[in-house]
Amino acid sequence: MKAIKPFLSLRATDKTICLEAAIFLFLTRLVILFLPYSALRKMLGSHMSIAVNQAVDEIKVRRISYFIHRIAPRMPLECTCLPKALTGKYMLQRRGIKSTLYLGLGPHGTYGMMGHAWLMVNHLTVTGGTGNEKLAQVGHFGSG
């Protein structure tokens, strides 16, 4: 019930973004869990390309980012960086905004490696913006 009250107080456009984020987070998590990498690879976009927008509605991009980060912890399946980045990519693409999904690797613990995904629109970080500078970028995927 605690989650319902704030949702009901949102404007209609924000409710739509909120529901869309929840649906895409759930679907992208299922895709990651159950489909082979070859299917996921097609969803990422054009390999080693960077998408550039001439003019971007920063408020729209920030609202999408905000709701992805607000909804992800409340999902029944764990939504880490890759589901968030894919969700942002789809939501932006539906609005005609190009984005670039980045994949990186870095040290984790004494001998381990950690993977991370983040999404950018021009200079704006949409998802996964913390700690990227410590990672070696292994790929990026632009979309239109």
Domain extent at residue 103: 4-142
DSSP string across 77-129: S---HHHHHHHHHHHHHHTT---EEEEEEEEETTTEEEEEEEEEETTEEEE--
Compute the mean pLDDT over every residue in the chain, rounded to the nearest whole number.
90
The total of structural domains in the chain comes to 1
Q: Model's pTM, two decimal places?
A: 0.90
For 50-105, the pLDDT digits (tens) are 888 888 999 999 999 999 999 999 999 999 999 999 999 999 999 999 999 999 99
Instruction: Indicate whether 1 pLDDT > 70.
Output: no
